[in-house]
Structure formats: structure tokens, C-alpha cells
Amino acid sequence: MAVDIELPDKGITALFGSSGAGKSTLLRVIAGLERGHGCNIRVGKDIWQDDAQGIFVPTHRRPLGFVFQDVHLFEHLSVQRNLEFGMKRVPPSNRKIAINHVIDLLGISHLMERRPATLSGGERQRVGIARALAASPRLLLLDEPLAALDMPRKLEILPYLERLNTELDIPMLYVSHAIDEVARLADYMVMLENGSLVASGAIGDMMTRLDLSLAHGDTAAALIDGYVAERDEAFHLVGVAFSGGQILLPNDAAHLGQRVRLRVQARDVSLTLAPQTSTSILNSIPVIVTDISQDATGQVMIGLNASGTRLLCRITRKSAHTLQLEPGKSLFAQVKGVAII
């Protein structure tokens, strides 16, 4: 494995790549479950491994939490006792996370007296995350924690992970090969392939880099971070403000001021030289062409700048020719509200 990188000390960093890319191996080396050769691993000012100095801190002395696909709860103990076991890893004087706060964030207060065998897959995973956090870790490692769950259970857990990221000051390393999870959760992405680092950066930049595979194909998409600026109760719409303006989309649940992340797929964006009025598409965003990439199928991926927010648009080569697209050209990106994720 060849990875030389410095990662953010806050938020969620996704280790992303296909099966066999080295994501889980890297996580296990960081945890000390596997010993890498020639490694230098530092968390803040603390050295966890430095082969040049002969330093190797064993896993049980590294202040981290680890969540696997299979949570491995103690089946003979209640949920409460499982959490207490996690708390025993750290002296009371070093506990920086209130376990009651974790229980509330993960919505498991009603499960305290239950045994693991009586829990659903989603409940087990939430308890496993709570147990990892009970030790007040400086770093939380999550190795494809949702991979074994069906879609309803995944959708159940994702909001809890978002809450942890928002309310707890603990950096997380999140392993996944599911781009939908990464796009929703991550702040930063590390892309791996065959045990080597391909690229790294802020999640929005990584997903829209035309030199990376993420920005091509049917799933190519851009992320918009904004907040709910208005609600249209009559039409069940919300207006999300972001650097490029405002986007309207259907939503009955979001409240005013709420921070949201939108995923806009390249195939759902069209381009026009002037704002349109006689159209069902409500969202027209001023953009500037930044870069263009053609493929062998006759399709073109266009990189766009919407006042600091990066967007993608996939069109035919003929459309690009008709619009005379080139870097620096100003035009308007149209986005269907019902197509936004």
C-alpha cells in the first residue's frame, strides 16, 4: 500500500474505491489491527506508528473507536451493559463524551434493557456506534457500517450519522464503495485504487473533477450545500439558497434555516444561452463553463461554475457544438426540482 496523505482533523473523511482498493486495509493499519511496513501514523501530535523510530502503539492504547459491518455486540449483555463495557476502556477523568448525549443522538434510549438478539439490523448498528463512542475516542473509524443493511435500514441510520457529524467534535474515517452514502455524509474524500492514492480533496471538488472517473457515467453528480431560505406551503416547495442563487424543490419536511446538501446529477442538467420562461423547469442558474471532457459515445461532460459552486452537465456532442461551448462561456443551467436528490 502506498498512501502519503494528511487528513482533516474534523468532519467525515470518506475512504472511497472499489472492492480491493485497500480501503479497509488502510483503516486497519491506522487502528493498529494490521502493521504496515515503513509506516508513519500521527494523530495530532501523537505518534501511533513510526517504523524509523521503532514506535508502534498497540490498538488498545490508541484512543479510537472502530465500527465494523458486523457490530459484534456481546449477546449475553443488555444494550446498557454493552455501552458500559465501551466506557471501561477509558478512565472517568478522560471521558469527554457524555454517554447520555450519545444515546440521545442515536435514538436508542428505549433499547437499554434489550439484548442484541432482539434488535433489528439498524438498531444493532446504532448500538455498535454508541459503544464505540462510549470510550470518548479521538478518532472514529467506520468500515462499511451500512454494507450489510437493506435500503430501508440504511435510510434509517444515515440521519443519525449526520447528527453525529454535526454535534460531536470527533473526526471520522468512513470506508465505503457506495457513492450515495459518501455524497450524503462526507466532507472530504480519499480515492484509492489497487492500494494506492488516486486523489483527495473536498467532497464537492472530488465528485466534479473531470480527470476522475467519479465525474463520468450515469451516476456523475455535483453537490450543493445550502440552507432552506423559504417555504411555499401552497405548492409544497422549499427554496434552498446557495452561492449560485436559489433552487426550488419539493419538500414538506425541511424547516427554515436548515442546512441541506443537494445532489444534482449531470444527466438532469440542461443548458441554455438565455433564461427561459415558457418551461416547466423552475430552476435557471447563471453559470460559466470551466472545462469540457468528451467521450467515445458522442457525449460531453461540461464542468460549470455557479458563483463558487461546481456543477456538471452531460449533453451530446452535437448540443455542445450548437451552443458553441468553450471554457469561459456564460450561460444558464436548468435543473428540474423533482430530479434533485
The CATH number of whichever domain residue 68 belongs to comes to 3.40.50.300
* Domain of residue 296, residue span: 221-339
- Rounded to whole angstroms, the Cα distance separating 334 from 196 reads 38
- Rounded to whole angstroms, the Cα distance separating 226 from 311 reads 14
Q: Are residues 143 and 26 both part of a single domain?
A: yes
Q: Are residues 168 and 257 both part of a single domain?
A: no
Task: Read off the CATH number of the domain in which 334 is found.
Answer: 2.40.50.100
Helix (H/G/I), strand (E/B), else coil: 244? coil
pLDDT score for 97: 86
Q: Are residues 178 and 281 both part of a single domain?
A: no
Taking the CB of residue 119, how many other CB atoms lie within 10 A of it? Answer: 19
Residues of the chain scoring pLDDT < 50: none
Cell numbers standing for residue 326: 468553450
pLDDT score for 1: 67
Domains: count for the chain: 2
Place of cell 461540461: 302
Counting every residue written for the chain, the total comes to 341
Q: Is residue 216 part of a domain?
A: no
Question: Crossing angle, helix 121-133 and helix 79-87, to 10 degrees?
Answer: 30
Q: Are residues 66 and 141 both part of a single domain?
A: yes
Domain boundary among 181, 207, 233: 207
Q: Is residue 254 part of a domain?
A: yes
Q: Are residues 195 and 225 both part of a single domain?
A: no
Q: Is residue 6 part of a domain?
A: no
Q: Are residues 226 and 164 both part of a single domain?
A: no
Q: Which residues contact 35 (CB under 8 A, 6 or more apart)?
A: 29, 49, 56
Place of cell 465525474: 215
- Rounded to whole angstroms, the Cα distance separating 24 from 174 reads 10
Q: Is residue 215 part of a domain?
A: no
Q: Is residue 265 part of a domain?
A: yes
Q: Are residues 195 and 267 both part of a single domain?
A: no
Q: Are residues 323 and 176 both part of a single domain?
A: no
Q: Are residues 185 and 225 both part of a single domain?
A: no
Q: Are residues 17 and 125 both part of a single domain?
A: yes
DSSP lists the bridge partners of residue 271 as: 333
H/E stretch holding 333 reads strand 330-335
Q: Which of 170, 256, 254, 222 is nearest to 339 (CA)?
A: 222
Q: Are residues 26 and 162 both part of a single domain?
A: yes
- Rounded to whole angstroms, the Cα distance separating 163 from 302 reads 34
Q: Which of 189, 132, 160, 165 is nearest to 17 (CA)?
A: 189
Contact 327, 289 (CB under 8 A): yes
Q: Which residues contact 46 (CB under 8 A, 6 or more apart)?
A: none
